[in-house]
Amino acid sequence: MENFSEKIQSLRNEYSDLDLKVDDLNSNPITQFTRWLDEAIETKIYEPNAMVLATVNENTPRSRFVLFKNIVNNNLIFHTHYESPKAMEILANPSVSGIFYWAEIHRQVRFQGKAKKADSEISDDYFQTRPRGGQLSAWASAQSSIIETRDDVTKKIEELEKKYKNKQIPRPEFWGGFEIEVNYWEFWQGRRNRTHDRFCYNQINSGWDIERMAP
């Protein structure tokens, strides 16, 4: 354990000399976010749309990775099983927070807001873009429920493959999107010697107040 502790404590990575100034930021955080996400995509980062989503269950925070899939009416969209723990937690308490982290370009985006079910049209449209295997797994998997073996799911998928052979697979009613209305954004740019640049956007009426934060 001592060697392990030393190994962890010795981990050091130096960041770049890139600066982030308030003049570099767009006055609209959605525009700023999409700009950074596009740069992450162009850098070929693996799953740059992966975000940690935190919800609250009876005053206990819980987090997991989900995939951000769209922006609709300035709200962030992700999709999941509506009977999963995270969905049930959102329906009970819509307050959520999340983080995108792009280590390769030394950037992080953090947000807070309120989540709600997306319109069915949004869920339907996205579901039809999923690979057929992903559509079948949405039907077959009761997400986060306890199962005996993986065969419990694969057998259901095989049955569904026969059922929907040469047919369009409809979206299950228990699966769909959530949209997050963000009321707080934070943009972080890593810099040398831990002198990171951090800016937050706080929503004020119909606009945003931008402030620099200490590293």
What residues are annotated to the active site?
A: 194
CA nearest neighbour of 191 among 12, 17, 11, 25: 17
Scored b (16 or more CB within 10 A) or e, 129-160 reads ebeeeebbbbbbbebeeeeeeeeeeeebeeeb
The continuous run of DSSP H or E covering 3 comes out as: helix 2-9
Q: Are 28 and 209 in contact (CB under 8 A)?
A: no
Question: If you search the block for the tokens 């009416």, which residue do you land on?
Answer: 73
Q: Are 103 and 47 in contact (CB under 8 A)?
A: no
Instruction: Tell me how far apart the alpha carbons of residues 53 and 99 are, in angstroms, rounded to a whole number.
Output: 7
CB atoms inside a 10 Å sphere around CB 44: 8
Cα dist. 178→102, 123, 175, 189 in Å?
23, 9, 10, 28
